[in-house]
Amino acid sequence: MRRIACFLPVPLLALSALVLLSFAAPASPEPIAQIRIGVLAPLSGPFAGGGSALTQAVTLAVELANAEGGLLGRPVELLVADTQGRVEIARSEALRLTSREKVFALVGAYLSEETVGVIEVAAASRSVLIVPVAATNEITDRVRREYDRYRYIFRVGYSIPQWAGMMAEFLARQGVSRYAFVGTGIRWNRELAGELRRALAPKRIVPVYESFYSPRNPAFESVAVAVMARSPEILVLGDPGGSSAEFVKRVREGGAIFPILSVGGTLGDARIAATLPLSAPLYVQAASWKGASPAATRYAKAFERRYGYMPVGYSDTLPYDAATVLFSAVRAAGRTDSDAVVKALETGAFPGIAGTYRFDPSHQAAWGTPELHGIVIRWEPGGARIVFPVPPGESNPAAADPRAQ
Amino acid sequence: MHPFAQVILDGLFTGSTYALMAAGLALILGVVKVVNLSHGAFFSLGAYVAYVLSAKEVSNNPAAAVLLACVIAFAFGVFLGKSFINPVRSHPFSVAVGSLGFAILFEQAAQMLWGPHPVSIGSGPPWGELSGVVVRRWGAVSLLASAGILGGLALFLSSRWGLPLKLISEEEEIAGSVGIDVEKYRYLTFGFAAAAAAVAGALLAPATSITPTMGRVPLILSLIVVIASGMENVLAIFLLAMGLGLLSNISAYLLAPQWSHVSLLTVISLLLLLRPAGLSSTDPGRDD
């Protein structure tokens, strides 16, 4: 025992020396803390196409921001979570990103259903959430109803009434009076059909056929026959997914010559459009497009250089703008404090690819204004042409007779 | 145009796509006696083969796509049958989970190889018109192919070359005792069934959007057809597939598109309630 007691001072002295040394040692330069941002998107399963485009666009925005020195002098780190298109996974991944990974803000999710789940997590953790594409009214309704709880949520993408408004404006300019609406039987699509009907009623444009197919057994041929039997002047196709290309093939194969206006998504993809019959006009609604503005052209070129294909103008452009709006707000706030960033987002104007974003009291970006409006392109054998708003100096031949196109 | 005549013709075409997928599945259920949930993955594989040949401008000839898809899927099918299905086939849940796992693995691999975005091939103009009714090119191709494959299968099973398969299907032990290599026939059957699914995918690729998960819906529909018709009678499979195709398209036209799936499942549920062993079975098979 006595021998042990004799040895005890040695380790004690060594430990004391170590403590003293560590205090005396010159402080090593601390690594610059990164600003962490989480992205929620379906990267597997049936919605992986849209989710992948979303992630690619945000990644590009982060890379460009970091190339310009980052945010507030700090590099931005992106943490990507796969929601698999499922509400419960989206919610748990949002929880992981905010609580364990300590992200400062979130961008996502993709589907309306997922996003409604994620806003609860964002509200509880007081993390800023920028919604790029999910369109359901429920997101901004919650901000309006319970501002204190949901004030961290902002939507960059268009709401369903705004979407319907922009499409109604285009249809009115086409001079049509009868249209058909066909789409996937999912929530936002039914809301969109209703809003479009309401937006077109004062313009005396009426639906002659409206239907929603099940993705499990869409029976496209019958839908195509039913639409043709009603003789609409234009068909509005409410399906941003892969099935839309299949439906266009069926309609055209059946000999239909009415124009089709797609809500965007897959039909904005040049690789898909190149395989579709263009025997009658195929229009695609988009947030922006190459050639719409210098910023849009720069973005499209950067995207194509980085990923090898042209952006579709919707599921990539809006997420890109979601990220750049967030970065601009952080710069305006001067810090990554959620409340300061919320204040900046509420009061500022933020330039993006599609125009300048300002948020209304429900934190919805003000689409359908001169400084932020969607466009419509028309696919032609050589590529796409912007047809709405009509570029300066061009007439709108489609307005005379849409079938003549 | 005569809308209803068009719906009827399109319904037959739709039914033929169910039959095309169901042919291979019936073979597996009848001979190997397992539920193969990877069947849809082979359908997608066939479609991607057609896409690659077209996109790389190797060939736009459907025959080339069909041939290549057939060879690749047969090789994969034999490998899967020999290495996984045969050793665990007496455990139906393991087979179901394992084959589902393979399907998901294929979806992930397809996503990594060709991306998660849909891809597409030009579908070409329709074949023509018959008294105002449009004959859709890929519908007609599907009808001819399904009639050919199922007809060929029926002929094969009724010939002396098909006897070992029939014997394995009915009395496995006796088949083994008379010197038939049952294990070999099982994995070869799995290979042929995989090839049939891939042929369906390659043939129908121009009419669809090609995605990694595109095989899920045809798998469910063909499984329904095979279980409801019973796997013994090839003609019953063909006729039931045609009937369901007609039902699906007519209900979508007369009611609404979302009713096509509901009406199809309602009829199948009633059929199975009355004849759980399948329509073609002589034994109703009810437990009460």
| DSSP assigned state of A369 | B
What is d(CA B26, CA B184) in angstroms, rounded to the nearest whole number? 18
Q: Is the pLDDT of residue B265 over 90?
A: no
Residue A106 to chain B, least CA–CA distance (Å) = 23
- pLDDT reported for residue A11: 52
Q: Is the pLDDT of residue B170 over 90?
A: no
Tokens of A217: 């057994």
Please, what is the average pLDDT of chain B?
87
The whole model's pTM is what?
Answer: 0.85
- pLDDT reported for residue A404: 35
Task: Indicate which of A82, A86, A213, A221 best probes the interface with B, i.e. most B CBs within 10 Å of its own CB.
Answer: A221
B257 is a domain residue? no
CB A221 within 8 A of CB B7: yes
- pLDDT reported for residue A18: 46
B251 is a domain residue? no
- Which among B90, B107, B114, B87 has a CA at the least distance from the CA of B37? B107
Residue B276 neighbours by CB under 8 Å, 6+ apart: B284, B285, B286, B287
Q: Is the pLDDT of residue A242 over 60?
A: yes
Give the three-class secondary structure for A40: strand
Pairing of strands A76-82, B133-135: unpaired
| DSSP assigned state of A358 | -
The ipTM (two decimal places) reads 0.85
Tokens of A328: 């601009």
- pLDDT reported for residue A396: 54
Task: Indicate which of A217, A227, A243, A249 best probes the interface with B, i.e. most B CBs within 10 Å of its own CB.
Answer: A217
**Is A69 at the interface with chain B, CB within 8 A?**
no
Q: What is the pLDDT of residues A267-312, one digit of tens each?
A: 999 999 999 999 899 999 999 999 999 999 999 999 999 999 999 9
Taking chain B, what is the end-to-end CA distance rounded to the nearest angstrom? 50
Which chain A residue has its CA at the smallest distance from B134's CA?
Answer: A254
Q: What is the pLDDT of residues A124-171, one digit of tens each?
A: 999 999 999 998 889 999 999 999 999 999 999 999 999 999 999 999
Q: What is the pLDDT of residues A55-86, one digit of tens each?
A: 999 999 999 999 999 999 999 999 999 999 89
Residue A241 neighbours by CB under 8 Å, 6+ apart: A46, A47, A49, A50, A184, A215, A265, A266, B118
- pLDDT reported for residue A335: 92
> What are the DSSP calls for A106-173, one per residue?
EE--SSHHHHHHHHHHHHHHT-EEEESS---HHHHHHHHHSHHHHTTEEE-SPPHHHHHHHHHHHHHH
CA dihedral B240, B242, B244, B247 (to 10 degrees): -140
Tokens of A215: 């993705």
Task: Provide the number of structural domains found in chain B.
Answer: 1
B264 is a domain residue? no
Residue B50 to chain A, least CA–CA distance (Å) = 14
Task: Indicate which of A43, A44, A231, A249 best probes the interface with B, i.e. most B CBs within 10 Å of its own CB.
Answer: A249
List CB contacts (< 8 A) between B125 and chain A.
253, 277
Which chain B residue has its CA at the smallest distance from A216's CA?
Answer: B217
User: Do the chains contact at A221 and B115, CB–CB below 8 Å?
Assistant: no
B263 is a domain residue? no
Which backbone phi and psi does A376 adopt, to 5 degrees? -130, 130
What is d(CA A62, CA A53) in angstroms, rounded to the nearest whole number? 14
- pLDDT reported for residue A12: 54
- pLDDT reported for residue B287: 63
Q: What is the pLDDT of residues B225-249, one digit of tens each?
A: 888 887 678 888 889 999 999 998 9
CB A35 within 8 A of CB A75: yes
B85 is a domain residue? yes
Percentage, residues of chain A above pLDDT 90 = 73
Q: Which of A211, A216, A228 sits opposite B256 (nearest CB)?
A: A211
User: Do the chains contact at A275 and B126, CB–CB below 8 Å?
Assistant: no
User: Do the chains contact at A217 and B213, CB–CB below 8 Å?
Assistant: no
List CB contacts (< 8 A) between B143 and chain A.
none
- Which among B103, B215, B111 has a CA at the least distance from the CA of A51? B111
Alpha helices in A241-386 (DSSP H): 243-253, 270-273, 294-307, 317-333, 338-347
Question: Within 13 Å and on the Cβ side, how many CA atoms surround A374?
Answer: 29
Please, what is the average pLDDT of chain A?
88
- Which among A91, A45, A37, A58 has a CA at the least distance from the CA of A315? A58
Residue A232 to chain B, least CA–CA distance (Å) = 15
Mean pLDDT (whole number) for A12-35: 57
CB A240 within 8 A of CB A266: yes
- pLDDT reported for residue A10: 52
In one-letter notation, the amino acid at residue A147 is: Y
Residue B146 neighbours by CB under 8 Å, 6+ apart: B16, B17, B19, B20, B23, B238, B241
Q: Which of B14, B217, B220 sits opposite A221 (nearest CB)?
A: B14
Place of tokens 């039931």: B240
pLDDT band (50, 70, 90) for residue B274: confident
Portion 191-220 of A in contact with B at CB < 8 A: 211-219
- pLDDT reported for residue A355: 95
- pLDDT reported for residue A22: 47
Q: How far is CA A137 from CA A159, B207, B228, in A?
A: 7, 35, 43
Q: What is the pLDDT of residues B148-157, one digit of tens each?
A: 988 998 898 8
B20 is a domain residue? yes
Mean pLDDT (whole number) for A245-251: 90
List CB contacts (< 8 A) between A215 and chain B.
217
> What are the DSSP calls for chain B, one per residue?
--HHHHHHHHHHHHHHHHHHHHHHHHHIIIII-S--TTHHHHHHHHHHHHHHHHHTTS---HHHHHHHHHHHHHHHHHHHIIIIIHHHTT-HHHHHHHHHHHHHHHHHHHHHHH-SS-B--------EEETTEEE-HHHHHHHHHHHHHHHHHHHHHHSGGGHHHHHHHH-HHHHHHTT--HHHHHHHHHHHHHHHHHHHHHHHGGGS-B-TTTTHHHHHHHHHHHHHH-SS-HHHHHHHHHHHHHHHHHHHHHT-THHHHHHHHHHHHHHHHH-TT-TT-SS-----
Place of tokens 């045809």: B218
CB A251 within 8 A of CB B134: no
> What are the DSSP calls for B67-114, one per residue?
HHHHHHHHHHHHHHIIIIIHHHTT-HHHHHHHHHHHHHHHHHHHHHHH
Q: Is the pLDDT of residue B7 over 70?
A: yes
User: Do the chains contact at B10 and A272, CB–CB below 8 Å?
Assistant: no
Q: What is the pLDDT of residues A353-383, one digit of tens each?
A: 999 999 999 999 999 999 999 999 999 988 9
**Is A16 at the interface with chain B, CB within 8 A?**
no
Tokens of A341: 């960033």
- Which among A61, A46, A5 has a CA at the least distance from the CA of A326? A61
Domain span holding position B72: 12-242
Strand partners of residue A37? A78, A105
Q: What is the pLDDT of residues A204-229, one digit of tens each?
A: 999 999 999 887 777 888 999 999 99
CB A154 within 8 A of CB A362: no
Place of tokens 């099982």: B186
Strand partners of residue A351? A356
**Is A124 at the interface with chain B, CB within 8 A?**
no
What is d(CA A288, CA A156) in angstroms, rounded to the nearest whole number? 13
- pLDDT reported for residue B85: 87
Chain centroid offset of residue B18 CA = 6
Chain centroid offset of residue A279 CA = 31
